[in-house]
Amino acid sequence: MLWPQVKNMSYFCEMQNQPPFLHPLDTQGTELPTAFTYPFRYAPHPLCEAAAAIVKEKLKELQCNEAKMFGVLVVEGGFLAAYSGQLAGSYAHPWFVPPIVDYLNPESHFQKEQAEIDKLNGRIAQLECHPELSMLRTRLNDLSEQRDEAVEKAKIQYERGKKVRDEQRRRLAGSEDEALLVEARLIAESQQQKADVKRARQLNNKAIEETKALIALRENNIGQLRQERKIRSEALQEWLFNQFVFLNAKGEQRSLVDIFDDFAGSSHSMIPSGAGECCAPKLLNAAYALGLKPIAMAEFWWGSSPRGLFRRQGEFYPACNRKCRPILSFMLQGLNVAPDPARHYEQIGADVEVLWEDAWMAVIVKPTGWLSVPGKTLQPNVKEEAMQRWPDASGPIILHRLDQDTSGLMILAKTQMSYSWLQKMFEKREIRKRYVALLDGSSQSIKKSGLIRLPLSPDYDDLPRQKVDYEHGLEAVTKYEVIEVGRHLAPRNNLSPSEGHEYTRISFYPLTGRTHQLRVHAASPEGLDLPIVGDRLYGNLADRLYLHAEALDFIHPATGEQLHFESEPPF
């Protein structure tokens, strides 16, 4: 047993022979997996599906409609279940594994310190809303307005007087004696009006400065309380991060701070809110703490989908990247973890085909698996291939991109001039593109043709995924036409359609070029609500992503010739 080494595992210390969150599971007749689930992409093992079915029945029994992720971990002797974050604002659900840190416990340091911070918040709010401070601010505003009005009035009087004096001087310009007599009066009048402006600027000054000092004294007290709140809040957050301690299969343990500090490109100052409270870390930590051997894991969504994301009740989803990848990278050490099932996408089975070229540009067919530009790995990419084929090419070469998983037509620029020409054509939407895709299912609600307008922005909690975002998203518009619907459209290789399952072949005409635009517009409940077959980000795995850039139409920027290219989809 490992739990004596683990902080905040009081639940476990109270357990008898079998904790209430270890549930029986019939494994007879089911072949066990040879390796543990790769949590960021997977097809759920039948044992996980069976365990998840039990959890779903439990949620119905509890009448749980709370929208969140739930997870199951099959271990030797049964399975464990977990929920992300809190359930109904509490951790007191012994049917599920306990939290790694129970900071909701009223006796915990977190709650006691949070209570003190809440008191500070109350004092700050009380001082900010105090009638005396409000009265002083009103008085300062009134005094300042009185002074400003007096100054403005005095300035107007001075400007009017100056115009009259200038006019009198012009009239008397030919009469020197009379001008001398009048000039003394005009100078005195000017000096008097200047003095009026000066006096106006000094109006209420003493009262204003006294009021400002009283306000500053009270605001300084508020500022000191805010600074104290900031210091205590940051210290409490740091304390909490250090309480999250995780185990791995080697029996090692590390804090959340250490894990993020060691993870490539991360630092504990960037630890996202909720890290360590997702299903997967909770499940693995509970299993390790009890000395149970993990066999397979899966997570599913329950409840309505958050707006802009792609969640269907009861369906399985991978662990998130931003919060879970650093943690699970440590926790999975010592387990025999299955390879990423999407790695076959990166196995290059075809070469880039040059469909057409001249001195200015080329049109190529990119196979699935190729990157458009160099990435972080040594994966083949179109740009380096183009530089090898045309070593004299100048400029950026790559005008537009296709996702790694997407195949089809791309235009490459061989010169800087042609790059500039074509780039302007892309910006003006003078280059027309057509894609063909196979959607995973069919729907009576999809019209024969239509227009999808869903603004997109990055899902920073789970990059590289994108999300529908009406507040901050960029405009994304796609025209579509349904080609046909039927079971006979089922793709080759990995897919065997279930009874009655249909697929939809569709043409897409993107009018904008946002990242993952077609994939999100297809998968989103606000779009077509049918993911593209093989979409490893927004749907389910297959032997490839069934999306192909099929046609291009544009006018040659140098010759004026109308060009049309087509590439038959490989599905």
Q: What is the DSSP string of 348-395?
A: --S--EEEEE-SSEEEEEEPTT-BSS--SS---BHHHHHHHH-TT--S
The catalytically annotated residue of 102, 196, 403, 405 is 403
Q: Rounded to an integer, what distance in angstroms lies between the CA atom of residue 95 and that of residue 83?
A: 11
Q: Rounded to an integer, what distance in angstroms lies between the CA atom of residue 329 and that of residue 71?
A: 18
Given the structure tokens 């115009």, which residue do they identify? Answer: 163
Strand-strand pairing, 316-317 and 294-302: antiparallel
Helix, strand, coil in percent for the chain, rounding step 5: 35, 20, 45
CA 5, 11, 15, 20 torsion-angle sign: negative
Strand-strand pairing, 353-357 and 316-317: unpaired
Q: Rounded to an integer, what distance in angstroms lies between the CA atom of residue 179 and that of residue 186?
A: 10
Q: Rounded to an integer, what distance in angstroms lies between the CA atom of residue 302 and that of residue 299?
A: 10
Q: Rounded to an integer, what distance in angstroms lies between the CA atom of residue 77 and that of residue 193?
A: 97
Whether cis (ω within 30° of 0) applies to the bond prior to 464 is yes
Question: For this structure, is 403 an active site residue?
Answer: yes
**In whole angstroms, what separates CA 241 from the centre of its chain?**
22
Specify which residues 331 forms β-bridges with: none
Amino acid at position 510, single letter: P
Distance, first Cα to last Cα, the chain: 53
Residue 452 · residue 514 · CB < 8 Å = no
Given the structure tokens 């922005």, which residue do they identify? Answer: 457
In 97-175, alpha helices (H): 109-128, 131-171
List, in order, residues 6 or more apart from 519 with CB less than 8 Å away. Answer: 403, 531, 532, 535, 537, 538, 547
Q: Rounded to an integer, what distance in angstroms lies between the CA atom of residue 391 and that of residue 405?
A: 27
Angle value at C-alpha 183, between 179 and 187, nearest 5 degrees: 170
Radius of gyration (C-alpha) of the chain in whole angstroms: 35
Which residues have a catalytic role annotated?
A: 403
